[in-house]
Amino acid sequence: MGVEAITNSTDAILTNLESGIQQFAVDPLAAIKAIDFQTVALVGVGILFVVFLVDLIAYIFALYKGNEEEFTPYSRSIAVMAADAWDNRRHNEIAHYYDPYVRSRSLENVTPVLDAISRAIKMWT
């Protein structure tokens, strides 16, 4: 695969993304209906598989080195990092994107759930 092929495929992806954003701006409901949920699910499962595979390879490496007691999975580190980011949302960029929706009450019911998930992650890790 040459540089031209990569450039062409990148251009096609960006063109698709731009048309999707324009469609979402014009008619959000139609854009949501046009989402290919099989692809979204497949990408999500792929991401979970890669995280599991990285954890498995890291554990096997720790086992080989003889320090498996000190091994901490990367997935746990990612969960703790996400919980810390949520808890400190007033001091990072999350507040700029999340707070306007909370003030308009569309996400007001979600905030306690995310707070509980964050507390659970911190308590059990």
**Average pLDDT per consecutive 10 residues, the chain (125 residues; last block may be shorter):** 70 77 73 78 91 92 87 86 85 73 69 88 85
Instruction: Measure the CA–CA gap between 117 and 121, rounded to whole angstroms.
Output: 6
Full-model pTM: 0.54
Tell me, what's the pLDDT at 105?
66
Q: Which pLDDT belongs to residue 61?
A: 92
Residue-level pLDDT at 106: 66
State the pLDDT at residue 101: 62
Q: Cα separation of 40 and 19, whole Å?
A: 18
Please give the single-letter amino acid code of residue 73: P
Q: What is the pLDDT of residue 100?
A: 64
pLDDT value for 96: 74
For 8-40, letters b (16+ CB in 10 Å) and e give eeeeeeeeeeeeeeeeeeeeeeeeeeeeeeeee
- Taking the C-alpha atoms of residue 125 and residue 122, their distance in angstroms, rounded to an integer, is 6
DSSP 39-59: HHHHHHHHHHHHHHHHHHHHH
